[in-house]
Structure 1
Amino acid sequence: MNQHIQPATQELPEKKSGIPAALACKCPRCRSGNMFAEKNPYRLKTTMKMNERCPVCRQPFDIEVGFYYGSSYVSYAFSIAISVASLIAWWLFIGLSTSDNRFFYWLIANALLLVVLQPFLMRLARSVWLSFFVRYDRNWQTNEPAVPERINKDQMNNW
């Protein structure tokens, strides 16, 4: 009963950080493939056009019908965080007062900032939302991605 177990000769790939991958809208499973067909979020005709699968690891991005409706909560949280950060920055650098219109100027500046950032925030929210449900797999080269259970082909990319 003296069996020797040979150590694995193949090294596991180095684990990539999830935050830069999410910010770059990369696949959460391999953290290499692009989630979106167009890299530039400000090409408004194709802003939300996602790849059906990851071009690197073949992870499906459309997990179930209506999956990305939940990303609206993530987008809302990002918008609130940006609004709070811009209010604090405005308060520190310009100041807030009830005797003039500085608060209303901040409201206008914040609204413009959020409108300009919206295409990026929508993509980022989808990337973060998907990463809640699809985990990084160090062995993505050998492991098959999970097959989506509830897909309606007629409703894919229909948002």
Structure 2
Amino acid sequence: MPSTKPGYFLSLLSMKCPRCRRGPMFNNSNPWNLKKVFAMPERCPECGQKYELEVGFWYGTGYVSYALSVAFCVASFVAWYVLIGMSTEDNRVFWWMGINIL
């Protein structure tokens, strides 16, 4: 077994283990087989890395992402209100919403 890891980008595209970059991340390498597209082994066959992290990790990332999105929306609303102003008589609110979506 070679001692160097394969390239990160190539391993990412070929769906290999994020730790050793050699073991397959999914049981089926064919992405068009939709019935088995998300079937994963519990651990990497090469290095033993557990693929499913604890549940709290996913809840934490969801809450952080939501908090950052809300903070960005509030900050952009305040900046828009101070710099341009808000009015219901024209389309400024819709312009803010459109720019906020981007």
Q: TM-score, normalised by structure 2?
A: 0.51
SS at match of 2:31: coil
2:38 is matched with which residue? 48
SS at match of 1:22: helix
1:118 is matched with which residue? none
Change (3 A) 1:35 1:67: farther
Q: Sequence identity of aligned pairs in percent? A: 45
- From 28, 31, 34, the counterpart of 2:24: 34
SS at match of 1:21: helix
Q: What is the CA–CA distance in structure 2 between the aligned matches of 1:67 and 1:15, rounded to whole Å? A: 26
User: Residue type of the partner of 1:27?
Assistant: C
Cα offsets for 1:49-81 (capped at 9, x unmatched) = 1111001111000011175686xx8xxxxxxxx
1:147 is matched with which residue? none
1:16 is matched with which residue? 6
The root-mean-square deviation of aligned C-alpha atoms, in Å, is 2.5
Which ranges of structure 2 fall in alignment gaps of 5 or more residues? 66-102
1:142 is matched with which residue? none
Change (3 A) 1:43 1:67: farther
Change (3 A) 1:65 1:34: same
Q: Segments of 4+ in structure 1 off by > 4 A?
A: 66-70
Contact 2:5 2:20 in 1 (8 A): no
Q: Which aligned pairs between 1:55-74 and structure 2 lie closer than 5 A? A: 55-65=45-55, 67=57
Larger radius of gyration: 2
Q: TM-score, normalised by structure 1?
A: 0.34
Alignment coverage as a number of residue pairs:
61
User: Residue type of the partner of 2:31?
Assistant: P
Which ranges of structure 1 fall in alignment gaps of 5 or more residues? 1-11, 74-159
- Which structure's relative contact order is higher, taking Cα pairs within 8 Å and 6+ residues apart? 1
